[in-house]
Amino acid sequence: MKEKLQKIKEEALAKIQSSDNLDKLNEIRVAYLGKKGELTSVLKGMKNVAPEERPKVGQMVNEARAIIETALEETKKALAAKAREEQLKREVIDVTLPAKKNNVGHRHPNTIALEEVERIFIGMGYEVVEGPEVEYDLYNFEKLNIPANHPAKDEQDTFYINNEIVLRTQTSPVQVRVMEQGKLPIRMIAPGRVFRSDEVDATHSPSFHQIEGLVIDKNITFADLKGTLAEFAKELFGEDTKVKFRPHHFPFTEPSAEVDVTCFKCGGTGCRFCKGSGWIEILGCGMVHPHVLEMSGIDPKEYSGFAFGVGLERIALLKYEIDDMRLLYENDTRFLKQF
C-alpha cells in the first residue's frame, strides 16, 4: 500500500511538472484527486487493510493529496505568471512615439455672432425665446397674414411633413406663440434654425438661422423701431455706423422696411466690400400688422408693436468677411479655428 501511494504521488508530480497549460493541470487534478481518481480508489481499497493499519494509511493518503494539491496550485501560479509575462512582452509600448494630438473644439462663427446679438438685446431688456423647428402651417403662415394662396408662400417654399405641418421657413411663428400666451408687454428675440427648399450656393442653403425680434406694448411707434435698430447696428458694427430704412413689403408688418447699415469697411464712401454703394443690407422689419395682432388675441387699438428678422449667417459672413456661406456648414476645423 505504501509503495502504491508513493508511486501514485511520483507519477502525479512528474505529470504536473511537465504540463504546460491550465487544461492539462485540470486533467491531472481529476485523474488523481477526483471522485474516480487514483487516490480515491486507494481509499476504497481500505477494506482490505488490517483495521489497526487503516489510520496510518488514511494519513498517508491525505499527505499524498496535500502534496499533489500544493504542486498543482504552484504550477498553476507559475503558468499564469508566465502567460502574463509573455503578454506584457507582446504589448510593449514605445514611449518615444509622439503623443496623439487632442483636438479641442472651437466656437463656430454663427455661435459667436449669435451670442453677440443676444448680448446686445438682453442689454436692452429683451428675453430670449425658442420655438419648434417643425411647425404648424397655421403658425408659420396663416397667423402671420400669409393665407394659403398668398404669393409669399411661394417665396418661402419649404419642406412639408403633411398638409398642416412644415419645417418652419422663418422664426416669426415664435412671435405668434408668445403673443397667444397673452402676457403683455412683450420684448423678445427668438433665434433658431429655419428651412427653405433652396439649392445650395454661396449665399443660399436649405437650412440657415434667423433671429426674430418682437416688441408689443402701448404706444410703440416706428420711432422706437428705428431707435432700437440704430442702437443694435452701432453695438454690432461700431459707434459710427448709420442705418437707412428702405420701404419694403412683408405680409405681417405694415409699414415694412429693409434696413441698410453704412459699410463698416469704408465707412460709407464705397468700396469693393459694399459693391461701391457704401451701404450693406442687414435685415427686414416693420410695425406688426393690426390683423396679425388681432389673430393672436391682442387688441390693435390698445397695443402696437414692431418686429424685425435678421439672418444669423448674414451677420457672421459680414462680421468675419467670409465670402461663401458654405464654409459655415462644412465644419472644417482649419477654417473654424480662425475666429
Please say which residue, 24 or 265, places its beta carbon nearer to Zn ion.
Answer: 265
Amino acid of residue 330: E
Residue 61 near Zn ion by CB under 5 A: no
Q: Which stretch binds Zn ion (CB under 5 A): 1-9, 19-27, 230-238, 268-276?
A: 268-276
282 is an interface residue for Zn ion by CB under 5 A: no
CB nearer to Zn ion: give 192 or 268.
268
- Alpha-carbon distance of 69 to 26, in angstroms, equals 11
The window from 46-54, 127-135, 179-187, 269-277 that contacts Zn ion (CB under 5 A) reads 269-277
The DSSP annotation for 184-222 comes to SSEEEEEEEEEE--PPPSSS--SEEEEEEEEEEETT--H
Q: Which residues pair with 284 in a beta bridge?
A: 258, 309
Stretch that binds Zn ion, among 93-101, 136-144, 265-273, 304-312 (CB under 5 A): 265-273
Which of 129/274 has CB closer to Zn ion?
Answer: 274
Q: Which residues of 68-80 are buried (b: 16+ CB within 10 A; e: fewer)?
A: beebbeebbeebe
* Rounded CA separation 193/84 (Å): 56
Residue 274 in the binding site for Zn ion (CB under 5 A)? yes
Shortest Cβ 281–Zn ion spacing (Å): 13
Q: Could you say which residues in the range 114-173 bind Zn ion, by CB under 5 A?
A: none
Q: Count the residues of the shown chain that bind Zn ion, applying the rule CB under 5 A.
A: 6
Q: Which is nearer to Zn ion, 124 or 271 (CB)?
A: 271
Q: Which residue number, 71 or 274, has a Cβ lying nearer to Zn ion?
A: 274
242 scored as a contact of Zn ion (CB under 5 A): no
- Closer CB to Zn ion, 75 or 241, in the complex: 241
Residue nearest to Zn ion (CB): 263
Binding status of residue 266 toward Zn ion by CB under 5 A: yes
Nearest distance from C-beta of residue 246 to Zn ion, angstroms: 17
By beta-carbon proximity to Zn ion, the closer residue of 184 and 266 is 266
CB of 222 to Zn ion, least distance (A): 27
User: If binding is defined by CB under 5 A, does position 261 make contact with Zn ion?
Assistant: no
Pairing of strands 186-195, 127-128: parallel
Closest approach of Zn ion to the CB of residue 282, in Å? 13
90 half-sphere exposure, CB direction, 13 A CA radius: 6
3 state DSSP class of 240: coil
Residue 273 interacting with Zn ion (CB under 5 A) = yes
Q: Give the sheet arrangement for strand 127-128, strand by strand.
A: 127-128, 186-195, 207-217, 304-311, 279-288, 253-262, 243-250
Q: Exactly one of 271, 300, 319, 335 binds Zn ion (CB under 5 A); which one?
A: 271
Min CB(236)–Zn ion separation in Å: 16
Nearest to 167 by CA among 125, 136, 129, 189: 136
The helices-and-strands tally (H runs, E runs) of the chain is 13, 9
Cα(39)–Cα(55) distance, rounded to whole angstroms? 15
- Nearest in space to 257 (alpha carbons), one of 309, 214, 293, 300: 309
Residue 96: CB minimum distance to Zn ion, A: 55
| Cα separation, 183 vs 297, whole angstroms | 11
Cα gap 46→32, rounded to integer Å: 17
**Which residues would be at the binding site for Zn ion (CB under 5 A)?**
263, 265-266, 271, 273-274
